[in-house]
Structure 1
Amino acid sequence: MSLCGPRGGAWAMTERGHKRVRRDADHLAIGPSALSWDGDTLVIDIAEISAPLPYPVRGTIRVKPEMIGTTAFALDPAARHRWHPVAPRARVEVDMIHPDMRWSGDGYFDSNFGDEPLETGFDDWHWSRAHLTRDVAVLYEGRRRSGEPFDLALKFDRQGRWHDVAPPPRVALPRTGWLVSRATRADVGSHPKVAKTWIDAPFYARSALDTQLFGEPVRAVHESLSLGRFRSPIVQSMLPYRMPRAFW
């Protein structure tokens, strides 16, 4: 998990073995943290230790979907990789004890899953999501490991129904501090700006964009992922410091 805020943030991503995973229809526990579905809200209880500086990360996040997406989209012809926008629009309440952080607002919940590691199937991708007046726009594009491009441009209405839309023109964004390439889609004649970069890592960036989509000025959440970078031996040697493996 990653938390970013004006008074600081937190990072925790610990790998744990299968013996530390417990699940049933409404619950999923991984180590000391857990997710549960109470009928209308996803409750995420977090009890982790940050890395590389070890300090406690404790709190609860509640995600209440305003719509449920029922479709998972294949990202490659063999459907080895799928993406599911579970809650394209949601209300989110964050109540953290460590660090002391509380807020609520509009949110989003999705899932990537598949039959092989992401770095086996892809070289890079760029993704963004923006709440429009009536719909939610999601733009997804990248290159598969074979070199073939892929892209999705979707709108979700307030009932969770989706439909394809023509993607706006591609616009290059400034590289990150780690020189990761970034790109997005925006209306003709508009000039997207990176308002804030929350995560700037050797192979990944998550940012806020001020842009225009489908005739509306919006604040979009954007990410760029370089799996070519991720595969490099140098980056792989760095991962245990940010993604430790625990046996408890």
Structure 2
Amino acid sequence: MPRFSANLGFLWTDRPLPDAIRAAHAAGFQAVECHWPYDTPAADVAAALSDTGLPMLGLNTVRGNPGENGLSALPGRADAARAAIDQAIFYGADIGAGAAHVMAGFAAGRAAHDTFISNLRYATDRAAEHGMTILIEPLNPYDAPGYFLSTSAQAADIIADIAAPNLKLMFDCYHLQIVEGDLTRRLEALMPIIGHIQFASVPARGEPDRGEVHYPHIFAHLDALGYAAPLGAEYRPQGESVEAGLGWLSPYI
């Protein structure tokens, strides 16, 4: 039976993060994850996690300046990129997060590739000190045109090049369906390097009970593959409330 994590970057954004954690627990999610929690004191987040018993799966490095969408592949921005990595790891350690997603940013070319590799080596070394995983995520060119990391093959090559045991792929079904499709076989092929899986409907990025991907098949296939970690619900609610769109979750709780 699959388990699910509420991505609080998209769900229950109308309330403070500790309250969103409690709402996710009340709705039946087995874990939570977030984007940029840094304005909330880590102690408040940790208290909500303790109260609910939910694990925090991960968080993102900051986007940087407007228009950057991450820092770690931007030549000339190494100091800021590494400060963002440190921030994510230290905050993540304070709340018991299992992973930090290192955002690459808008960049292209060999210099960007080399910069990203260097910063990821730094990130994996620092994360290992806290028992954390570093995630990298391909983003589709419609939502994030010009983002450095755009395909699973590119991510797999980077992971192989760095060869750190705590560097993994964030497999976002929404982004990879748009860019590559064939999710069933792609999940099978990439399973050895997957560190987290997220989902949303395609193309609207809403609840997973609509659109072109039949998620009950994806969830059952992952279950058959033995993937037991919670799957990240990273979608934008299409109705009046998060709760109004949770019919997709009810068969699994």
What TM-score, normalized to structure 2?
A: 0.31
Larger helix proportion of the pair: 2
Larger strand proportion of the pair: 1
Structure 1 or 2, whichever has the larger Rg, is 1
